[in-house]
Amino acid sequence: MSRLRKRVAVLISGRGSNLQALIDAAVGEGFPAEIALVVSDRPDAQGLQRAERAGVASRVLVPKELGGRAAFEQALEQALREADIDLICLAGFMRILGADFVGRWQGRLINIHPSLLPAFPGLDTHQRALEAGVKLHGCSVHFVDSGVDRGPIIGQAAVPVLPDDEPDSLAARVLTAEHSLYPRCLELICLSKIQLLEGGVKSTSSAPAESAILANPDRL
Ligand code: GAR
């Protein structure tokens, strides 16, 4: 990853609001990444329209149509190679990637998840946070390893759980935080201010806000 602006692929399955946040950040002056490719595993993903509006190349790769996960990952790898991709962001990509794929992209494959990991991996995170009675909830950006919603944490943003919250109101508050956190984490990785080293995530920045692992993105 030696070029100045990293070429990023964003993998989506649906709405694509985090994709939009990354697209919007990347058009900003001096942002160290460009969104070069969007890949969706669903032809009806709303995020595909966002890619088109932004003039970002997109591919639809449907595992079932391709003959299963192995064929999907092969096609994905080829699309990433053709687009000369440096780094992959999973943004609401609701599919588990195989260990071989994850291993090849280790340190260059990141995900956003709507909880303060390791709490609440998987689905229905907001409902489960309310049921658990937590007072703080949030989102995490992490390097992907072979587990589900697991891997070294890059950044987290916490939001309060309010007394009248329903899953939807809590989800909306978390989503706003996601839209700040994800571009900031991507930026720090592309600037090599955060790296995946043996033993976890390391910040190479001396700026306190940038070296914070638990971060409120509004203050980054
Ligand atoms: C986001 O909340 C993201 O964190 C979550 O899916 C949503 C996608 O929204 N991802 C996961 O749950 C991954 N385990 P978006 O399509 O509007 O970005």
* Residue 39 predicted with pLDDT over 70: yes
Q: Quick one: pLDDT at residue 148?
A: 85
Q: How far apart are the first and last CA of the chain?
A: 24
The full set of domain ranges for the chain reads 1-95, 113-220
pLDDT confidence band for 218 (50 / 70 / 90): low
Does ligand 1 come within 6 angstroms of the Cβ of 112?
Answer: yes
Spacing, Cα 111 to ligand 1 middle (Å): 9
Which residue's CA is minimally distant from atom 1 of ligand 1? 92
**Overall fold of domain 113-220:** Rossmann fold (3.40.50)
Which residue's CA is minimally distant from atom 6 of ligand 1? 92
**CATH class of the structural domain 1-95:** alpha beta
* Residue 208 predicted with pLDDT over 60: no
Per residue in 74-101, pLDDT tens?
A: 999 999 999 999 999 999 999 999 999 9
pLDDT confidence band for 209 (50 / 70 / 90): low
Q: Exposed/middle/buried for 87, CB within 10 Å: 0-12, 13-18, 19+? A: buried
Per residue in 162-207, pLDDT tens?
A: 999 999 999 999 999 999 999 999 999 999 888 787 767 877 765 5
* Residue 220 predicted with pLDDT over 50: no
Mean pLDDT of 158-164: 95
Average pLDDT, the chain: 92
Distances 35 to 9, 56, 65, 92, 144 between C-alpha atoms, Å: 6, 7, 26, 16, 19
* Residue 132 predicted with pLDDT over 80: yes
Q: What is the pTM of this model?
A: 0.93
Spacing, Cα 112 to ligand 1 middle (Å): 7
Q: Quick one: pLDDT at residue 2?
A: 67
